[in-house]
Structure 1
Amino acid sequence: MGKIFDLDSPVMRVLNVVADLMILNFAVLLFVLVPFTGGAALTGMHYVLLKIVRNEETYVLKGFWKSFKLNFKQATIIWIIIVAISAIIGMDFWWIYNNAGAIPPVYAYIMFGITVILYMVSLYIFPLLARFDNPVRGTLKNAVMFAILGLPRTVAMAIISLIPLLLLYFFELRIIPILMMFGFAGPGFLMAVLYNGLFLKFEPKVEVPKDDEMHLDDEDDEELQAAIKRLQEARDKK
């Protein structure tokens, strides 16, 4: 029984992850409610989530704040772009709804398809910003590439990301306490499990040189030669 509550037991590891997700979700929720900081908050969230998925040691709030500050400028620019595009799409659908009789149905289907594609692309933007160092344009282009290469996991990520909305639709106000604890970080964690393998394929591999492959720079080589010379001189004196 005691082994269940050991720090390295599976049960304790799961509980630690749940606690980290809860803390992370409150941090994200706080900044998402503040104007223009939603992008930086989601970037910080994915930075921490990827470390959790990879079992890398991290302090949730410290890691979140580190990525938040580091990527604030780019994340805010992208966030404003996303909000602007979302507003345009929303107004377009409102116009279609109010002019349904005068607009061919195919137009609504085309708009819906474009919206779905853009949404799936957007799912990769902040994880990419959290993990890779690229300008805004490069991040957006890479998001398109990853959304295509990541099929069908991209579709799964889109479904997972909509879980909070589905829960809110079916359970209404009763589910709000759960969403306040896990509404962002919970689905984000499952998404990180999916995109982690794809990211690993594009991350540079760091190889540790073998002993016979290690080399010395000029300064170290001079010091080594001087030490050998002193040893030879000491031997000759004897």
Structure 2
Amino acid sequence: MDAPPPADGMRRFWFLFCTHFFKIILLNLLYLLFCVPVFTIPAATAGMTNVLMKLWREGNCFLWADFWSEFKTEFPSRMFLWFAMQLVPMAFWFLPAFLGAKTVAFWLSLIAEAFILLIDAYWFPLVTTMDVSSAVSLKNACLLLPIAFKNSLAMLAVIALFYGVCYLLLPFTLPVILLFSFSCERLILCLRVQPVMEQWLVQKEE
């Protein structure tokens, strides 16, 4: 008699990764393709996150249908909100740098970028699973960041380690970046975000 699939944690991650190996590769390539015009990055990230959240919660997904349905949802508002967030680290860099404090500018912009990455890590799963607007989901993401502080630190470590290793080992990691990096990193973030949402938020019914 076959054992049931793991319900959570890294055991579930590896189960899904091995079971849906080629689907995860295709999703990564699809994401990169739809990020080519830079203004579509937030929509593409929402589409990829929707696929992976369904995969994480239900154990299966429809790659193109789930990606495309979320890609086109609230496209203008998500694009505006995402690009507005990217301005925050830039502001923390330019103002001190303009005043001659380049070292201060570097560290302030780095801290701001870390916060933005964490907000993104909560925001995109929220927009795919909450029956509220993208703006309200962004507010909820900002609230979850300090509420689930230990989880937020763990996610920051995942992001930093994942992309730090990919960057330091270039060009050897280029195939990994092209085939796995974004979809795998996002699937690990789903692992971290799903329990937090179950604890603090009411998700929409499918």
Alignment TM class, shorter chain as reference: 0.7 to 0.9
Tell me by how many angstroms 1:12 deviates.
Answer: 8.2
Cα deviation 1:11-42 (Å, max 9, x = unaligned): 98643322221111111111222121000111
1:61 equivalent in structure 2: 64
Question: 1:57-136 counterparts in 2 under 5 A?
Answer: 57-92=60-95, 95=97, 99-100=100-101, 112-136=110-134
Q: Does structure 2 conserve the Cα–Cα contact (< 8 Å) formed by 1:163 and 1:187?
A: no
Deviation for aligned residue 1:112: 4.5
Could you say if the C-alpha distance between residues 118 and 17 of structure 1 is closer, same or farther in structure 2, counting changes exceeding 3 Å? Answer: same
| Alpha-carbon separation, structure 2, partners of 1:38 and 1:205 | 24
Kept in 2, the 8 Å contact 1:164–1:179? The answer is no
Distance in 1 between the 2:151 and 2:15 partners? 29
Match of 2:173 in 1: 175
Q: 1:180 to 1:89 in 2, by over 3 A?
A: farther
Following TM superposition, by how much is the alpha carbon of 1:107 offset from its aligned partner in structure 2, in angstroms?
7.1
For residues 152-195 of structure 1, what are the alpha-carbon distances to aligned partners after superposition, in whole Å with 9 as ceiling and x for unaligned? 11111112123443123321111111111112111100010111
Q: Give the letter for the 1:140 counterpart.
A: L
How many Å separate the matches in 1 of 2:109 and 2:15?
Answer: 47
Find the aligned partners of 1:27 and 1:18 in 2 and give their Cα distance.
Answer: 14
Structure 2 residue 163 is matched with structure 1 residue 160: no
- Offset, 1:131: 1.4
Alpha-carbon distance between aligned partners in 1 of 2:106 and 2:176, rounded to the nearest angstrom:
34
Please give the alpha-carbon distance, in whole angstroms, between the structure 1 residues aligned to 2:104 and 2:178. 38
Partner of 2:8: none
Conserved 8 A contact 1:67-1:130? yes
C-alpha separation between the residues in 1 aligned to 2:169 and 2:93?
25
Q: CA deviation at 1:71?
A: 3.4
Match of 1:174, SS state, is: coil
Report the equivalent of 1:203. 202
- Paired residue for 1:37? 40
In structure 2, relative to structure 1, the CA distance for the partners of 1:171 and 1:114 (3 Å cut) is closer
- Work out the percentage of aligned pairs sharing the same amino acid: 20
- Shift of the 91–165 alpha-carbon distance from structure 1 to 2, 3 Å rule, reads farther
Distance 1:121 1:167 in 2: 22
User: Considering only CA atoms, is the larger Rg found in Structure 1 or Structure 2?
Assistant: 1
CA RMSD of aligned residues (A): 3.1
Match of 2:188 in 1: 190
Aligned-partner residue type, residue 186 of structure 2:
G
Q: What letter is aligned with 1:63?
A: D
TM-score (norm 1): 0.69
Structure 2 unmatched runs, 5+: 6-11
Aligned length: 195
> Does the 8 Å CA contact 1:89/1:115 hold for their aligned counterparts?
no
TM-score of the two chains, using structure 2 as the length reference: 0.79
Equivalent position SS for 1:36: helix
